[in-house]
Amino acid sequence: MFSNTPTTVVVGRDSTVIAVSGGRHSNGAVKWAVEHLLKKNSSCILLHVRTKTMLTPENNNDAPKNGRPPNEEELHQFFLPFRGFCARKGISTKELVLHDLDVTSALIAFVVDNCISTLVVGAATSSWGSILRRFNKDDVSASLAKSLPDTCSLYVISKGKVQHIRPSGHHHPHHNHQNVEATPAKSIKDIVNFLESDPLDQPHKDLTNNQIAFEDIERKLIKDVVKHQSNKLWEYLHEETNSPKSPIEYPSSQNSSANNTPGNSDSTGQSLGPPLINKTSSHHCGNNSSLKDQVSFDMQMRKLKLELQKTAEMYGMACKEAVLATQKAVEIEKYRQEKERDMEEAKLAQTKMTMESTQMSKHLVKTESQKRREVELKSKHEEGDTIKALQEVIYNNIPYRKYTIEDIDAATNKFDNALKIGEGGYGPVFKGVLDHTTVAIKAMKPDLAYAEKQFQQEVIVLSTIRHPNMVLLLGACPEFGVLVYEYMVNGSLEDRLLQRDNSPPIPWKTRFKIASEIATGLLFLHQTKPEPLVHRDLKPANILLDKNYVSKISDVGLARLVPPSMANQTTQYRLTGAAGTFCYIDPEYQQTGLLGVKSDVYSLGVVLLQIITAKSPMGLSHLVEKALMSNTLSEVLDPSVKDWPIEETSSFAKLALKCCELRKRDRPDLGTVVLPELNRISRLWDDENIYPLRHHMA
């Protein structure tokens, strides 16, 4: 493990140095050097220049000039991948870290100080900062090519390809270089020291911490610029000194006292360095051209100083803009975080409101459901009380003929199947003779759960009311739930519409009369006092026909009492379990359990459509409606009737469709709309014989 304390590292003169920065270009440089320059069991130096940013300045005096070993973080970040690669190829490595603001200057100084013979770099090695890059257009490789001594070979690697570049500067052989630079060294150093002098080094007073920090940053930037310009000045001076056309010769050290003459200071009092022309040089330069060269040199120096000042001002402005941009970025980030926090809080609040709303909805649904259950329980309780009261009335108060089971057995020959004339939901129906009268006997199924209740309902309704369009109850056997009705010769309307037992078709005049009679009997139930009765199971099978085809409504066991205050309302009805036959049940009643007199109006509408079509009730309303819209009603009418009056039948069908509306409030009133219209249609032919050929059931 490496220590953070810098130590001096000895570097060989003929070492191969590979500059690495941790990027992909460094990978290419190391790979190429190992494959083309280095032999197995040889060694190389991996060199990394750690630049100092303007926001985190470091002290250059902390690092040795010849580099230091990497610390643990640098080792893992920059050198380990390259060390491992070289080790696999049999190459040993030394790792060094340099500290400088400029990568090029650091590499050149290291090469010169250690007499490095070979330097390998990646083509895209970056310079020292994006803000300063605009003032230094040359990249590292180009700068190295211009400034490296001839003794060092430079290899620039780009995308696996190599370019061998020799330094392009005007350097002389080693012995001449010493002779030329020995004399002007002090003068050039004075010039560079002047250019590198920091005008901001004066003590500051009454400055805030932010201002002091900014001045420190600006001072570093200016120093960097001055150092760059100084390098250019050195080049320029070397070119001027070594030019064959220049007659300038600098005095030896014994004449250096002339350096402090007033002619060599600018208006600020600072020395510009040694005199470019003195008495000694004037003896050697007696012609006009030497004076012109000196004037030109002075002008170049002043021009360079002005450019330096402008550059420093530009860097100062760039530094201020960078600081302001950083502050603005911090403020924007803070604002963004606050906005995100506000959005998160709003989202949490919205989620909380949604959860509360959901919980409230569930609570309301639960409360509503609980109320409905309470109403149902109350209704069932009231219904139980009503049943008990009905039982007392049936067995004690209602006057109806009571038969014994022996009487029923004798009348039906012990329920002989040969006498069976029908089958209903309540039970089978038999033909028999009681008291010398032909009757229809309906026996209750022994396993029917609600048969007793239906029996009681049938007895109380039919024993207390009398109407020519309601079937007549002759008596009952309460012990066994047997009901005795008057015998209807022509059976049910369903059988006659379907022409069972080869019965003749019903003429259209008789059909209109039957429709009017059904509506009359149904209105009688709805007007029952003190409470209206709703049949709930109106269908052709429960409409019986006597020998003259007079229709009578039967099977009122499912009839329910409705409070008078709710009988004609469109939204409030008695809450009950849906009962009846599929296709005839009111859809709204089936969905909500709310019962009303208009529930029977829907069933009546379906029966009316069957009267004129003799078709199944499934989808019948849609079929007739489509036929009316396309003027093809005659195609859906019962084909056994050949002389349908289209105009009256069309009115009849439209009235039936109105009764079949899905919503109760859209259906017409039975007493004021439906029955008057049916009476009008059926009485158009009162003077004619509307009864068909007699069909007596066996």
Contact 536, 561 (CB under 8 A): no
Residues 28 and 104 reside in one and the same domain: yes
* Residue 363, domain member (yes or no): no
> Residue 680: its pLDDT value, please?
94
Residues 515 and 647 reside in one and the same domain: yes
Residue 240 one-letter amino acid: E
Written as six digits, the tokens of 477 are 């056997």
Of the pLDDT bands very low, low, confident and very high (cuts 50, 70, 90), residue 636 is very high
End residue of a domain, out of 122, 150, 165: 165
Residues 94 and 233 reside in one and the same domain: no
Residues 158 and 230 reside in one and the same domain: no
Residues 571-604 have pLDDT tens digits of 334 444 455 678 899 999 888 888 889 999 999 9
Residues 405-437 have pLDDT tens digits of 999 999 999 999 999 988 877 788 999 999 889
Told to judge if 190 belongs to the known catalytic residues of this protein, a careful annotator would answer no
Residue 428 is classified by DSSP as E
> Residue 285: its pLDDT value, please?
41
Q: With a cut of 50, say whether residue 202 has pLDDT above it.
A: no
Average pLDDT in the 625-645 region? 94
Residues 335 and 437 reside in one and the same domain: no
**Would you call the peptide bond into 564 cis, given omega within 30 degrees of 0 as the criterion?**
no
Q: With a cut of 70, say whether residue 388 has pLDDT above it.
A: no
Q: Among 293-297, 484-488, 575-579, 643-647, which stretch is predicted with the lowest mean pLDDT?
A: 575-579
Residues 556 and 685 reside in one and the same domain: yes
Distance CA(21)–CA(47), nearest Å, equals: 9
* Residue 597, domain member (yes or no): yes
What is the residue-averaged pLDDT of the chain?
75
Q: With a cut of 60, say whether residue 690 has pLDDT above it.
A: no
- The 10 Å Cβ neighbour count of residue 223 is 16
* Residue 354, domain member (yes or no): no
Q: For residue 68, give the CATH number of its domain.
A: 3.40.50.620
Residues 666-680 have pLDDT tens digits of 999 999 999 999 999
Catalytic residue among 190, 537, 600, 638: 537
> Residue 175: its pLDDT value, please?
37
Q: Which residues contact 159 (CB under 8 A, 6 or more apart)?
A: 28, 123
Average pLDDT in the 67-71 region? 83
Range of the domain at 117: 16-165
Residue 388 one-letter amino acid: K
Chain-centroid distance, C-alpha 6: 57
Residues 269 and 310 reside in one and the same domain: yes
Residues 90 and 121 reside in one and the same domain: yes
Helix axes 140-147, 103-114, angle to 10 degrees: 40
* Residue 578, domain member (yes or no): yes
Q: What is the pTM of this model?
A: 0.45
Residues 483 and 501 reside in one and the same domain: no
Contact 121, 148 (CB under 8 A): no
Residues 541 and 570 reside in one and the same domain: yes
Distance CA(616)–CA(625), nearest Å, equals: 15
End residue of a domain, out of 432, 454, 487: 487
Q: Which residues contact 411 (CB under 8 A, 6 or more apart)?
A: 432, 433, 434, 439, 441
Q: With a cut of 50, say whether residue 538 has pLDDT above it.
A: yes
Domain count, the chain: 4
End residue of a domain, out of 318, 339, 360: 339
* Residue 190, domain member (yes or no): no
- The 10 Å Cβ neighbour count of residue 579 is 16
Q: With a cut of 60, say whether residue 462 has pLDDT above it.
A: yes
* Residue 384, domain member (yes or no): no
Average pLDDT in the 224-236 region? 61
SS3 21: coil
Residues 534 and 473 reside in one and the same domain: no
> Residue 562: its pLDDT value, please?
60
Q: For residue 554, give the CATH number of its domain.
A: 1.10.510.10
* Residue 346, domain member (yes or no): no
Residues 75-104 have pLDDT tens digits of 877 788 888 889 888 999 999 998 888 888
Residues 502 and 447 reside in one and the same domain: no
> Residue 590: its pLDDT value, please?
86
Greater confidence, 572 or 401?
A: 401
Written as six digits, the tokens of 92 are 């040993």
Greater confidence, 493 or 61?
A: 493
Written as six digits, the tokens of 161 are 């390809």
Q: Which among 517, 502, 534, 516 has a CA at the least distance from the CA of 640?
A: 502
Contact 9, 94 (CB under 8 A): yes
SS3 656: helix
Query: What are the DSSP calls for 71-134, one per residue?
Result: -HHHIIIIIHHHHHHHHHTT-EEEEEEEEES-HHHHHHHHHHHHT--EEEEETT---S-TTTGG
* Residue 387, domain member (yes or no): no
Q: With a cut of 50, say whether residue 48 has pLDDT above it.
A: yes
Contact 96, 68 (CB under 8 A): yes
Contact 18, 111 (CB under 8 A): no
Q: Which residues contact 571 (CB under 8 A, 6 or more apart)?
A: 594, 665
Residue 156 is classified by DSSP as E
SS3 6: coil
> Residue 511: its pLDDT value, please?
96
Q: For residue 482, give the CATH number of its domain.
A: 3.30.200.20
Share of the chain above pLDDT 70, in %: 66
